[in-house]
Structure 1
């Protein structure tokens, strides 16, 4: 299945985990080449005002400061999508019931695998930005 179609299914699992209060973290990993950008993380922020995520860009270089931004899940998706296949080949969803890994192979085919959960509790992100 083309990675774009598989990513839609993957993102449905992300939304479902948020709705059920199981979302712990999302990480974009497996960079292509050796770019300065090392990872992109989403951490949950549950509040009375609704669900938001802390989006964090982590860089390899110590001279480049990590960037953080508080966004809705939909806004975060818009930010993440351009990095698929161009910068990152895998996205890991960590929930309290399972971990889901989305991968893109060299031919542009997407796949998903599920494993036992790495997180048993949701730890909210702490941010000065909200």
Structure 2
């Protein structure tokens, strides 16, 4: 899991943004604990806080930090190697305002996906404006 933090640090450094600048996230959730781990390792919340975020509704589409607005891999379907692409597409659609059925008010998105049983990580930060 150390690769999560490294990937996140690199993405934040390249974008010039930090966790407080991100308005929603698409987090690889092949296992139900993944979003908690990812929110922690990416600098958004501690493990205890991350669980509270989900229980309080903060991560729901109407919350202040929506996560996996298309249902994530648990709700949408885990398609194997293409799963990360589904997250990227949803993050881009949210930032572009292209999905009125699931739209959240977000100008920035963080997408984090991994492969190889948490061995290879990729973090992307998208925004409506170029930096």
| TM-score computed with the length of structure 1 as normaliser | 0.31
Q: Which has the higher strand share?
A: 1
More helix by share: 2
Q: State TM-score, norm by structure 2.
A: 0.31
